[in-house]
Amino acid sequence: MDRLPKIALPVVFVIILAVIFLFRSFINIGAGEAGVLWKRFGGGVVVDEPPLSEGFHIVAPWNKVYIYEVRQQEVFEKMKVLSSNGLDIQLDASAWFQPKNEFLGKLHKEKSEQYKERILLPAIRSAARSVVGRYTPEQLYSSKRDAIQAEIYEETKKIVDDQYIQLNEVLVRDVTLPPTIKDAIERKLKQEQESLEYEFRLVTAEKEAQRQRIEAQGKADANKILSASLTDKILQDKGIEATLKLSESPNSKVVVVGSSGDGLPLILGNN
């Protein structure tokens, strides 16, 4: 009976160790994640095999698994950059990215879990400074936002492509200029808009005047043609026709067919 506690104590200790080792061997990888295996006695980070996929895995308790999110993620960055004429510009941008799943082991070994802070964000800052430095504040404020966004994306992608990071998109969310520069640009844009509006009114008025001139010329030409075609004989015949129609009206009158001063019939009398 005295020997039982001495035997039971090591057994309990072994059981506890076994439970700990078993729990350390059970690895669960969630949706949108992948695991990088680190072998304590097998060369460290495994880079020549695919990463552990979603689901339940059993690994040796002396090894370790580093879990990475492999879905698309977003990172935000606020930075101060210089325009082409040396003015300070506040640029707010974000990037959509994800680690390249097939190179996850190399990413962990060479860049670590802080790859966003060590690689991605510095690349975005560098590309933004390079791109914005080609444009004036007016271009940044008005017409070149989409072009700047596309150029920052392309330059950032060149940097991170061989760093095991997949860059999906870069979004320029806001460009903040110094207040005095912003006010000056807005005044200039307003003046340009007013000038364009004034030019439009001038063009419209000129077109209307041209239309009226063409219409008046057409009427003048028509009258000239009509006048040239009306002879004295035609006018006399038209007058006789009109007089005869008038004589057919119910009002009492006397029609004298004869020669008046213009050769037309005379109408005498009324009610």
Residues 87-132: pLDDT tens digits? 788 889 999 999 999 999 999 999 999 999 999 999 999 999 999 8
- Looking at residue 123, which CATH number applies to its domain? 3.30.479.30
Statement to judge: residues 154 and 77 lie in one domain = yes
Range among 36-50, 111-125, 174-188, 240-254 rated most confident:
111-125
Statement to judge: residues 81 and 142 lie in one domain = yes
Question: Do the Cβ atoms of 237 and 219 come closer than 8 Å?
Answer: no
Statement to judge: residues 164 and 241 lie in one domain = no
* pLDDT value, residue 90: 85
Statement to judge: residues 151 and 165 lie in one domain = yes
DSSP summary character for residue 115: H
Statement to judge: residues 31 and 61 lie in one domain = yes
| Cα(185)–Cα(141) distance, integer angstroms | 8
Statement to judge: residues 125 and 213 lie in one domain = no
Instruction: Give the chain's domain count.
Output: 4
Statement to judge: residues 111 and 164 lie in one domain = yes
Residues 163-215: pLDDT tens digits? 999 999 999 888 887 666 656 655 665 555 656 665 767 777 778 778 788 88
Statement to judge: residues 210 and 241 lie in one domain = no
Statement to judge: residues 55 and 21 lie in one domain = yes
Statement to judge: residues 132 and 120 lie in one domain = yes
For the full predicted model, state whether its pTM sits above 0.75. Answer: no
Nearest to 138 by CA among 180, 181, 174: 181
* pLDDT value, residue 242: 63
| Cα(96)–Cα(167) distance, integer angstroms | 6
- Which of 14, 48, 69 is a domain's end point? 69
* pLDDT value, residue 1: 46
Which carries the bigger pLDDT value, residue 115 or residue 26? 115
Domain interval for residue 247: 232-268
- Which of 29, 47, 69 is a domain's end point? 69
Statement to judge: residues 91 and 23 lie in one domain = no
**For residue 163, what are the contacts with CB-CB under 8 A and spacing of at least 6?**
107, 111, 115, 119, 123
Query: Tokens in use for 30?
Result: 């969630």
- Average pLDDT for 144-159: 90
Helix and strand counts by DSSP (H, E) for the chain = 8, 10
Statement to judge: residues 240 and 225 lie in one domain = no
- Which of 26, 47, 69 is a domain's end point? 69
